[in-house]
Structure formats: structure tokens, C-alpha cells
A and B are shown apart, each in its own frame.
Chain A
Amino acid sequence: MGLLSKKDAKLITDPLTDNNPITIQVLGICSALAITAELKASIVMSVSVLFVLGLGNVVISLMRNIIPSKIRIIVQLIVVATLVIIVDLVLKAFAYELSKTLSVFVGLIITNCIIMGRFEAFALGNGPWKSFLDGVGNSLGYAVILIIVGFFRELLGSGTLLGIQVLGDPIEKTGLYAFGYENNGFMLLSPMALIVVGLIIWVQRSRNQALIEEN
């Protein structure tokens, strides 16, 4: 990170570890539950959020001095929705296949609490470059958790990764299945995402005791 000052670099690395949007700030849980049954969907969602949050943070930051405080939440919502719709329209016209994969996520991106949270907490009070870094950092922090959860849910629930059978064929009984292993269908249901996120929080807090809140 030679290009960035220490302070700027922290904006990117903090959300990856000790200030993770999902495990510490508990934002963006809704989409983490909804779309992590497959690794591929987790990755697509992560990239979309990276794009929208990075860009949205810059737009909000540029507008921060002219946004009336009374209606700032509505203004933020309009900015996200506009960005997402523009991307969706352009993809529909020029990359139709890709847009079909993404269409499910459009609504989920607009309502992602991380995006609103970062606009409100960071972009409204900081310059565009810093806001951009903060957006990138937070969406990467979100992506890490999403990909970990997606990895375990797809592996244990369907025995596949990115759609490729990695544990053998459950119908032909090859690989692990030859020893009587079965896929755990529970992993495909959204409550299991909450349990996986819970396990991640557990691991993280036992490694870094400073994160544990006092009662």
C-alpha cells in the first residue's frame, strides 16, 4: 500500500478485521442470509456491492454540503437506487446474460444496510477520496464474510463449489459418498447462514478479546 498514507490504508484494512461490517457492526445480515447458499451468488453479490458502495460513497461525499439534513436518508436511498438501476439497464442492453444473473440482486443491493450505513456514518462527513476507500474497504469486509459463508454452505449443503462437484457424485456414490457421507440439506436453508456467521463471530472474538463488549 505504498500509494496510501497509513490513515488511508486503515480505511481499507479495518473493515476486513476489527471493524467488519457484518460480524462487528452487524449490518448487511439480510443479504448474507439470503444469497449465500451458493458460492457463485456470494461472489456476484460482493462485486456488485463493491461497485455500488464505492461509487455511491463518492457521490454522497461530493453532495455532502448541499444535502438538506432533514431528507438526507431519502436522498441517500435515491442515489443508491439510481446507481443500481443505471447499471441494470446498461447490462440489459449490452451484457444480457450477465444482467440475468444479477437481476435477483438488484433489490437486495438497494436495501443493503451496509450501503446506507456507510453513507450515513462516513460519506456525509468525509471527502470523496476517503469515502471511496471506506466504501471499498467495507465492501471487501462484507465480501470476505459472504464468501466464507457461501463456501461452507455450498460445500456442506450441495457438495459442490461454484457448481462443480468436489466431494464426488451423490447419485453414483463416488468419492466421499462411497463411505456413506450425505449432503446436509439444512445448510441450504437461510437459518444456517446465521449459525455460520455466529461461528465466525465466535472465532473472531476469541482471537481478539478486545472486541468483547462488557455487560
Chain B
Amino acid sequence: MSKKTDSNSYTMIFAIGMVLVVGSLLAFLASSLKPNISENKRIEKQQNILYAMGVNENDESSAIFVSTSVAEQEFQKYIKKQLVIEGDNFSEDEKAYMIDVKKEKSKAKNGGTRKLPLFVGEKDGKTFYIAPIRGKGLWDAIWGYVAMDENMIVQGAYFDHKGETPGLGANIKYRFFMDDFKGEHLLDASGNFKGIRVAKGNNDPKNDEKTDYEVDAIAGATITGDGVSAMIKSDLKLYVDYFKTLKQ
């Protein structure tokens, strides 16, 4: 190394210069690409919600969304109502799907009332109630959408994650795992909330719960699976009161 680059003042100037260049480059890029990115995210939300209620282009084994170009149309066609539940009141809101579940969760933690979005969809004469859920996996956030009928029996589910391990926890977004939730019950026989557990005991012939309240866990992804059970329990429980009003 030449002498020039060893001096303290050069090092300081270089460091400051580098930070300025890199910082402004990234800031410029992030803000100029922001509209595209948020539009992509918005369409993805619509695709996720439609996926949970069974509007998708799945082939035999893999999960495929409706294409991005028709997502908006399909969303208008199948989703009949978008509700926002706040305490005991609920109102319709066309932008309910844009509610940020993460923000609402932290609001509830700080003692505020949480806005709960619920989407009512209709397909082939059947009504679906789709709710978003969000929780923690092993490394980062996991989230999803669960479609239920009026008895809170799961009709379809979609899960996604930010950074679970590929091949292990990341498999929660594969069909073999998501399809397993269909037909599971969230309420017990007397109508109390019970939830669905991602469990390992699914091969046990003596286990009576496996048909209604348990799905098969993924080997090597215990913590992600527990995260899925936990977010189903904590988030879907909040909708029980609304489902009770449907029966009155």
C-alpha cells in the first residue's frame, strides 16, 4: 500500500465519501422504484386472498396464482364485501385489503383497538370468509390468509414467509402443507375457539384430533410449524365474535 492511503485523514475522508455515495445511490434507487414495488405488493395481496378461497391456477402439484394481469378483475368479481371489524362494530371498506396487519398488531399491543379486515367472497354459490393472519417463524415474519365457511371450518389457506429456511420452513408455502388445512375445524363441538395445531403425532392411530384440529408438521421445521399454529390461534380467535353474529 502506498503511503497516501494509510493516513488517518485520508481514511476518514474516504469513509465519509463512500457512505455519501452509497447512501444516496441506494436512497435514489429505492425511492424511484417505490411505486412499482408497492403496486406489485398490492396485486400480490389480491392474489393471496383469491388463492385462499380457491381462485387460482393450480396444476397437479404446484401452487399458482391467477396471473397478475387479471388479478384486479378477478378480485372485483369474487370478493363481494370487504369488512373492517373494530371492536363490536363493523363497516365496509373497499380498501380493507390494504390494511397493514403488522401495524394493527402493534397498535393492539399498545392498548389501541385493532382493525380486523375480513373479506367475504363467493364462488360457485358458496360463501367464503377470508382473514389475514401474521406471526413469527424461525427467522422472520410469516403470514397468510385463511378462508373459512360460516362455521369456521377452513376451506383453504395460503401461507408465506420472509426468510424461512429453503427446503424446511420455507415449505409452508407449498401445496402439500397448505392443502392439509382444508376441512380442519377452528371451533370445538360446543362452539369455543380451539385452533389448529401443526403437529407431529399425525401418524398415531389413537390420535382422535388429527382429522379435525391437527395438520401434519414438516420434518425439520418445528419452529416454523409452531409459528403457524400460534398465528392461527392468536389471530383467528379475534374473529369468533363476528362469526357468532352470523348465526343470529
Contacts and interface: CB of A to CB of B under 8 A. Distances in A.
A74 B16 CA distance: 12
B163 A189 contact: no
Contacts of A189: 220
A201 interface: no
A69 B1 contact: yes
Given A35-B166, A67-B5, A188-B220, A78 B22 contact: yes
A212 B162 CA distance: 42
B15 interface: yes
A35 B167 contact: yes
Contacts of B61: 163
B6 interface: yes
Given A75-B18, A93-B36, A41 B167 contact: yes
Given A69-B1, A104-B164, A189-B220, A96 B44 contact: yes
A71 B14 contact: yes
B62 to A, nearest CB: 7
Contact of B163 (A38, A70, A103, A154): A103
B10 interface: yes
Given A68-B6, A69-B1, A69-B6, A37 B166 contact: yes
Interface string B156-186: 0000001111111010000000000000000
Contacts of B11: 68, 70-71
Interface in B48-93: 61-62, 68
Interface residues of B, number: 32
Interface residues of A, number: 34
A80 B36 CA distance: 24
A69 B40 CA distance: 42
Given A37-B167, A94-B36, 18 more contacts: A34-B166, A37-B165, A37-B168, A38-B167, A66-B5, A66-B14, A68-B14, A68-B15, A69-B6, A71-B14, A71-B15, A86-B25, A89-B30, A89-B33, A92-B36, A92-B40, A103-B162, A188-B220
Interface of A: 34-38, 41, 65-71, 74-75, 78, 82, 85-86, 89-90, 92-94, 96, 103-104, 107, 153-154, 163, 185, 188-189
17 contacts: A37-B166, A38-B166, A66-B14, A71-B11, A71-B14, A75-B14, A78-B22, A86-B25, A89-B33, A93-B33, A93-B40, A96-B40, A107-B163, A163-B62, A188-B168, A188-B219, A189-B220
